[in-house]
A and B are shown apart, each in its own frame.
Chain A
Amino acid sequence: SQTIHQWPATLVQPVGSPLSLECTVEGTSNPNLYWYRQAAGRGLQLLFYSVGIGQISSEVPQNLSASRPQDRQFILSSKKLLLSDSGFYLCACGSTTTEAFFGQGTRLTVV
């Protein structure tokens, strides 16, 4: 079965600082990978998805970017964080079936 590793679990960053969140997947190959953001008390908003190495699609124009340098590695980045980037970031993996498996998330607070 698939396992998704996501780190760090908690992050506090000042406004204007860079961001790098990493997600790695075990137990599957060539997965679809996703970054979601969850605001407090709200559903999951899809930010980026990737169907393969170097292939990134953005769902929402924003201050963030994503990269997939390896088959099972997905990175979420920002050059300069905004207060509005605070939230709970979740990496997810889906393959030939359509359900998604999630990592444990990173709680980002921009101060």
Chain B
Amino acid sequence: QKEVEQDPGPLSVPEGAIVSLNCTYSNSAFQYFMWYRQYSRKGPELLMYTYSSGNKEDGRFTAQVDKSSKYISLFIRDSQPSDSATYLCAMNDPSRDTGRRALTFGSGTRLQVQP
């Protein structure tokens, strides 16, 4: 079983729709949770970063973490064609040794926002 599961999509929505992207994980030691956006042939860029459970909002983006269910979500309001990209969830176990605190990634969900 993978440590982090993410539906690969593609997810196709009309412009202006609310998008929900999700990941589940199995390692209860994960404490830090991130969402990255990756455009085609580019490196991932950090969108949202949350610690432990709760919600975090930044403009049109809201990240939710439910540690009891081992489930994280990213919501995009008023989606735009420029949001079309692959969204990767990532998480981190701070109890690991300093160097090994590399992120564990989901496989990414490809999102297409149709104009």
Contact = CB atoms under 8 A, between A and B. Distances in A.
Interface of A: 4, 6, 32, 34, 41-44, 46, 49-51, 55, 57, 59, 88, 90, 94, 98-105, 107
Contact of A49 (B8, B90, B99): B99
A13 B42 CA distance: 20
Contacts of B25: none
Given A42-B107, A43-B88, A104-B43, A98 B99 contact: no
Contact of B99 (A42, A57, A99, A103): A57
A6 B15 CA distance: 34
Contacts of B103: 44, 98-100
A46 B46 contact: no
Dominant secondary structure of chain A at its interface with chain B: strand
List the 4 closest pairs (A to B, CB-CB), nearest first: A102-B43, A51-B99, A43-B107, A43-B105
Contacts of B44: 44, 90, 102
A27 B113 CA distance: 35
Interface residues of B, number: 27
B76 to A, nearest CB: 19
A57 B96 CA distance: 14
B101 A32 contact: yes
B94 A101 contact: no
A34 B43 contact: no
Interface in B66-115: 88, 90, 92, 94, 98-103, 105-108
Contacts of A51: 98-99
